[in-house]
Structure 1
Amino acid sequence: MPGTLLSVNVGRATTAAKTGAPEGLTGIDKRPVEGPVAVSAPGPRGVGGSGLAGDAIGDTRHHGGDDQAVYVYAREDLEHWAGELGRPLTNGVFGENLTTEGIDVGDVRVGEQWRVGAELLLEATSPRIPCATFADWLGERGWVKRFAGGRRPGAYFRVLRPGPISPGDRIEVVHRPDHEVSVAFAFRAQLGEPELRPRVLAAGAALHGELFARATEWAEAAAEPTER
């Protein structure tokens, strides 16, 4: 069944105590906007930032770029964490660009394609790996470990076809690969279940470029004969 785009969230660059940006900036504080918001491929990491017009990326060495142009998180997963943390969580508070409803974002497979609204076409590339900036922003002690254990990473997407989007737009899955590598699977492989790593390469070139390189190494290492 199709999902719904609940909110489109963009952030302004602000200073942060923990960020990899030389200027000490982060764009994690994202707030819902009315739209329409133009979405397009921003360019390679280090050059391009966010895929959403008007959205800031503070640390372009580690965030943003074509393979992380759009970050998506489900309202259902925000509600889970709201219950765990005992506090309300607004759309955009996890730094997500798109807050969705009606789609299991953790089950999105790498290479899965979504049409959002009438024109925008996205392709899933990887899970979000938590960082110190995320933990500092939420103000939750031990957050990186806790988020990793929760296995609700959200998904990064690249832009295959640009287009404008607005809250309330329909989200339609137009292509779903037949491999097993969901973003939650890739997340588990990277954080805590290394036995899954050789299988990540099944997602192929749709993987985020850096994850593809690591997955290739994992698969090659697994194929090497063991010494007796």
Structure 2
Amino acid sequence: MGQIISISIGKPKSIPVKSSRPIKSSFIKTPIESKIFLGYEGFENDQVGDPRLHGGVDKAVCVYCKEHFVYWTNEKGLKLNAPAFGENLTVEGLLETQTNIGDVFNIGQAQVQVSQPRQPCHKINKVYDNQKMACWVKSSGFTGYYFRVIEQGWVAPGDKVIRVRKGEGTFSVDEINSFLSKSKGENNLQRLAKAVKLDSLTDEWRKLLKKRLP
């Protein structure tokens, strides 16, 4: 069982960047203190900056783990707090190694399902004015992941995140991430072939994984 540490929402706005022109993004989010309605396309009053890459029913909620902030401080010298990675939910007790694609959780009055790992886009480099940031996120494995919403409802900071069903095949978010980070020859092809067939994995990620097959 995990817990929601913070819920954050945002809307597209211009973000100044030291080394280039400003970017328009919803990466900078604001934590809320009271309950909020979670619909099929995300939290009320939360908007994505680029609908081609973010949002939609399969990526309704972006999740990041509080435990990783220690790594960013100790290893990279970054003192970060929620929502440092543009996440909607900052959670505790639900690491990528512990959370499976297809897992179903009750959070508040809502029910959600893990749909895919989060793959950071180039804008995280601009927000932190560091061209290595996205690569650091990927190589660390501390990517976060997405929820799709199965049942809408009210959710509040501090709510428990209760797993009610495990995903088929028990493929952790971390294992799915590893299929992309490893060279083709390093992957367990039998596991990879099974992962490609996961019904609960998004089409986007099934296509990515298929490219890793011989």
- With the shorter chain as reference, the TM-score category is 0.7 to 0.9
Q: Is the 8 A contact 1:106 1:152 kept in 2?
A: no
Aligned CA RMSD, in angstroms, stands at 2.2
Q: For the residues of structure 1 that align with 2:95 and 2:149, how far apart are their CA atoms?
A: 20
| Aligned equivalent of 2:73, options 79, 82, 86 | 82
- Counterpart secondary structure, 2:169: coil
1:133-172 deviation per Cα after TM superposition (whole angstroms, max 9, x unaligned): 0111122341122211101111111001111111110110
Question: 1:97 Cα shift?
Answer: 0.5
Partner of 2:34: 35
- State the TM-score, normalizing by the size of structure 1: 0.82
Residue 20 of structure 2: aligned partner = none
Question: CA separation in 2, counterparts of 1:165 and 1:215?
Answer: 33
Q: How far did residue 180 of structure 1 move?
A: 4.2
Gaps of 5+ in 1: 19-23, 43-50, 223-228
Amino acid at match of 2:79: P
Cα distance in 2, alignment partners of residues 113 and 66 from structure 1 = 15
Q: Could you tell me the TM-score, scaled by structure 2's length?
A: 0.87
For 1:66 and 1:178, the matched residues in 2 are separated by 20
Partner amino acid, structure 2, of 1:99:
T
Work out whether residues 102 and 168 of structure 2, in 8 Å CA contact, stay in contact via their aligned partners in 1. Answer: no
Once the two structures are superposed, the pairs formed by residues 1-228 of structure 1 within 5 Å of their partners are 2-16=1-15, 25-42=24-41, 51-117=42-108, 119-177=109-167, 179-194=169-184, 195-196=186-187, 198=189, 199-203=191-195, 204-216=198-210, 218=212, 221-222=213-214
Counterparts of 1:8 and 1:88, CA distance in 2: 19
Look up the SS of the partner of 1:78 in the other structure: helix
C-alpha change, 1:178 and 1:206, in structure 2 (3 Å) is closer
Find the aligned partners of 2:89 and 2:37 in 1 and give their Cα distance.
13
Q: Find the aligned partners of 1:207 and 1:185 in 2 and give their Cα distance.
A: 13
What's the CA shift for 1:130?
1.8
Residue-by-residue CA offset, 1:32-90 (whole Å, 9 max, x unaligned) = 10121111112xxxxxxxx1111120000111111111011110012221222223211
2:64 alignment partner, SS class: strand
Q: Percent identity, aligned pairs only?
A: 27
May I ask how many residue pairs the two structures share in their alignment?
206
Residues 193/9 of structure 1: CA separation in 2 closer, same or farther (3 Å cut): farther
Tell me, in whole angstroms, the C-alpha distance in 2 between the residues paired with 1:113 and 1:167: 19
In structure 2, how many angstroms separate the alpha carbons of the residues matched to 1:187 and 1:33?
30
- Summarize the Cα distance change of 1:30–1:197 in structure 2 as closer, same or farther, 3 Å threshold: farther
Distance between the aligned counterparts of 2:188 and 2:86, measured in 1?
Answer: 27
